[in-house]
Amino acid sequence: MGKKFLIITASVGSGHEKAAGAIAEGVRKSFPHARLDIVDFMSWHTSAVNALMKGCYLKMLAMVPNLYEFMYQFTAGKRKGGFIQLLMAYAMSISIKNLLRRYEPDVIICTHPFPAEAVSHLSERWRRRFLSAAVITDYSVHQMWICPHMDLYFVGCDFMEKQLIADGINQSTIHVTGIPVAQCFQHELNKVQCRQKLNLALEKPVVLMMGGGLGLGRIALALEQLEIIGESLQLVVVAGRNKELLRRAEAARQHSHHKITVYGYTDKINQLMGAADVLLTKPGALTLTEAMSLGLPMLLHEPIPGPETDNARYMSGCGVAIWLHAGDNVAYILRQLLGDREKLAAMGEAARIARKPEAVKEIVEVIKENMDLSNYGYWSDLD
């Protein structure tokens, strides 16, 4: 009988889900006879309480982002953050118990801290049961990710390993694999071929503009600002699930002297990145990792306060991206960058040095090595 894998993610933005999907690809390849289930921890189907929390989170981001930043910083320390973390683990343990009864997994992989907290909390009280793994989907470690009873940790960079060790996590459980991306992002693409497939001109610069799966990041405002650039550019806007952004981008297309192509939610992101000279985006970790994997230079703006600020700091520190701060002139900086081929080439090379395209393969290999069948089986004490 094949082993049973349960990947628990969260539909808060697209990054956690994309990481889960990438890992699933690797599991299916290495364990062709395994049962694999992917569960959205924040869906109504899983838990009404969790879904309500997700709704509150999304509204807070849209209406009071400064409040989100306050909460992120407030829960960052061990004392306050640890207390909040314990409350969250208790509140979500019922959801985890229900999932364990339903799927009876041999391996649990969490790409969001909420299920990881609950799994870690419950693991402390049970007899040996399953292999648990946390895949951190940002380039920093928040207190909510400190789950001492997880068996394995997978992180994006060396600095994160040091952060986890400083917070008491056993070094032997930590693996610096990089953040997992889908197979289609693991190798650079031919720019000419990508442009031909997408009906983009070969001779004009292409700027890809994204705001993650939710279409955040004030892309509509950036479109207005880029109108002052005299040279005709090819602007490709990915609006994601943001219908208002889709409407405004389509309206901008009607009168712009640039060629604007607009997508909603699309599965062509790898081709769009392959065709682009520069990516203008808010710094969601999965988008940044995908672009870095393809050697694409980036301009980062409008980070969600907290984790995305840390992501922007990491990418700019690696030389892969330019972080636009409040008051910076996006049109001026973009025009300067597009005119400096040496700078673009240097950023692309920095991406090739920093990227870890084998993340999925390494994660699955480590899990495989740790699946000692004599230690990991199902348990009965779920009270």
| Domain locations in the chain as residue ranges | 4-181+358-370, 186-354
pLDDT digits (tens, 9 = 90+) for 313-342: 999 999 999 999 988 999 999 999 999 999
Average pLDDT, the chain: 87
- What percentage of the chain has pLDDT greater than the value 70? 82
**Gap between the Cα atoms of 262 and 281, Å rounded:** 15
Residue 62 has pLDDT above 70, yes or no: no
CATH numeric code, 4-181+358-370: 3.40.50.2000
CATH class of the region 186-354: alpha beta
Residue with tokens 């001026």: 332
**Gap between the Cα atoms of 224 and 330, Å rounded:** 11
pLDDT digits (tens, 9 = 90+) for 113-146: 888 988 987 876 665 578 999 999 999 998 889 9
**Gap between the Cα atoms of 218 and 308, Å rounded:** 15
- Residue 82 has what pLDDT? 55
- Residue 218 has what pLDDT? 77
Instruction: Read off the pLDDT of each residue in 10-33 and give the average, rounded to a whole number.
Output: 92
- Residue 12 has what pLDDT? 80
pLDDT digits (tens, 9 = 90+) for 360-376: 999 999 999 998 644 55
pLDDT digits (tens, 9 = 90+) for 227-283: 999 999 999 999 988 888 899 999 999 999 999 999 998 999 999 999 999 999 999
Residue 302 has pLDDT above 90, yes or no: no
Dihedral angle over CA of 128, 155, 81, 41, nearest 10? -60
**Gap between the Cα atoms of 265 and 221, Å rounded:** 20
4-181+358-370 and 186-354: identical CATH topology: yes
Closest CA to 236 of 252, 214, 255: 252
Cα separation values, 350 from 124, 206, 298, 344, Å: 42, 20, 11, 10
- Residue 156 has what pLDDT? 96
Closest CA to 300 of 236, 313, 14, 223: 313
Residue 99 has pLDDT above 70, yes or no: yes
- Residue 24 has what pLDDT? 98
Instruction: Read off the pLDDT of each residue in 208-218 and give the average, rounded to a whole number.
Output: 71
